[in-house]
Structure 1
Amino acid sequence: MNITIQNAEATVTCRTHGAELLSYKTFAGKEYMWQKDPAYWAKTSPILFPYIGAVPETVTIHGTDYAIPRHGFVKDVEFDVAEQGDDYVVLSTGTSDFTKPIYPYDFRFTVTFRLKDSALEVTYGVSNLGNEEMPFLIGGHPAFFCPMEDGEQFTDYMLRFEDENIPDLHLQYPMFDNDAILYENLIHRTVKLISSKTEKGIQFDFPGYESVAFWTPIKKDAPFLCIEPWCGGTMDQVSCTDMLKKKYVQFLDGGKARDYVFRFQPC
């Protein structure tokens, strides 16, 4: 089921399957989210939980192997609508007969989409419903059109960081030939994806995350870029499938809850 929220400045559509964000349009009707095309990538914004990255066979947790799929399983489950208003919606899922054999913890996972003026704030809420400490990795994977305007090229765009010691990254397809590019240890967790000609695009803030990755499909010259806030793993840890050895792995005590927030808006 698709759900639409809106205010005076923007309209957002998500779906209950995987709580996937499908669309962000300005009041004038301009679309910023990649609109699925299997020729490039048949997704728009999958959620990464409780694992990030490829899984050759299984994921190990405290010495036991579990068949957690690539990028986790939340992206594949149906969510319930827990709460909804004109400009926000809260979707919820949790432990089930499907999750228990592949992730041995009792949990609740919520996704809140909330419009605040022109900004869309996305909150992933994790609750540990059990008594033992719960490890997990978590991240977002939203894809944005790049280029964003007719007559522009992918290579017209750049990533601009607020940290003074990090130069602008001018996009070229070959820089993604080895998969995603990851930045960590940022002081200011804000990045802009903007045209080098007009300096217009989007601003993306990820205060709830330890690192951020950028990805477009390898050697497809795809017209989009994913901005992926992560808590869990680095690019040199792809072959490591022991969850507890992943950099930035999160731990949540029994009965506790934690929110992970990112937001974006046109700039």
Structure 2
Amino acid sequence: MNTTISNSTLKATIKHSGAELTSLKDNQNKEYIWEGNPDFWGKHSPILFPIVGTLKNNTYTVNGKEYQLPRHGFARDMEFQLIDKTENSATFSLQSNEETLKKYPFEFELQLIYTLNESALDIQYKVINKSSDKMPFSIGAHPAIALHENFENYAFEFEKKETLKYYLLENDLISNNTKVLESTDNKVPLNYKLFENDALIFKTLESKSLTILENSKPYIKVDFEDFPSLGLWTKDQAPFICIEPWLGYSDTAENSGDLFEKEGILVLNSNQIFNSKFSIKIL
């Protein structure tokens, strides 16, 4: 099942499975979200919860008990309920249940709130801890932006001039090896070789927005003020680029396995509500 929201500029379609954005079109019917061709990658813009990235051995512990979670958690593969809808907004909810409690022993509600605001789509995450105990979690976005021209015709433009240090993955875990993404005037030309070792993972960035340039002209801007970390990713020869605002990231090889000790983890008190928001703006 899908829900569509619209305003005078944009139309967005969200499927109830995973509350996943599958389409964002302008009033000229131009598509800005990757189509999800499984030959490259069968997703569009999944939600990453209650972890971002990969756990060591796909395993973690809470209070000494062992649990398993797949890469990026389970929310992206679950059915959400549409709980509120207006012409230009839609709110989806996922509640903990018997199935989630086996993998993640906390009672929660996760809401995704999509709102069209002129030429931008705002995506808000709301996490409610309904447990009587503290709840550790990570949350992140994974939108794939459709690229209609040759990959090399595009570039990143970071908001601020800074040293773009990113961490390399080894066996899907964060290693201690880093590289610096070379930039000129905050711009980084795209080529597939940048991603030959999988995603580029920035634990911290001064920039809180990233613009994709198409033939040196602004194409799409992603604002992520609430997110300290960022992943950038594509597949070889794929006509998309993922700009991924994160609160959390994969385990390191040295990780203890205790979820409360995981680097980058967030912790909510009982009945506490967490909010964060990012936006995709058509330029």
TM normalised by structure 1 equals 0.92
In the other structure, the counterpart of 2:31 is 31
- The answer to whether 1:190 aligns with 2:224 is no
Deviations 1:34-68 (A, max 9, x none): 00111100010111000111343422334322121
Label 1:70 to 1:164 Cα distance change in 2 as closer, same or farther (>3 A).
same
Query: What is the correspondence of 1:27-176 to structure 2 with a 5 Å cutoff?
Result: 27-55=27-55, 56-146=57-147, 148=148, 152-166=149-163, 167=183, 168-176=187-195
Conserved 8 A contact 1:36-1:43: yes
In the other structure, the counterpart of 2:4 is 4
In the other structure, the counterpart of 2:171 is none
* RMSD of equivalent CA atoms: 1.6
Label 1:222 to 1:100 Cα distance change in 2 as closer, same or farther (>3 A).
same
In the other structure, the counterpart of 1:226 is 242
Runs of 4+ that moved beyond 3 A: 238-242
Q: Determine which structure has the larger strand proportion and give its number.
A: 2
Label 1:135 to 1:117 Cα distance change in 2 as closer, same or farther (>3 A).
same
Letter in 1 for 2:241: L
Conserved 8 A contact 2:90-2:113: yes
Letter in 1 for 2:19: A
CA distance in 1, matches of 2:245, 2:65: 28
CA distance in 2, matches of 1:221, 1:102: 35
The count of corresponding residues between Structure 1 and Structure 2 is 259
Gaps of 5+ in 2: 164-182
Label 1:204 to 1:57 Cα distance change in 2 as closer, same or farther (>3 A).
closer
Shift of 1:210: 1.3
TM normalised by structure 2 equals 0.87
Report % sequence identity.
35
Gaps of 5+ in 1: none
CA distance in 2, matches of 1:156, 1:247: 36
Of 249, 255, 260, the match for 2:271: 255
Shift of 1:102: 0.7
Shift of 1:199: 1.5
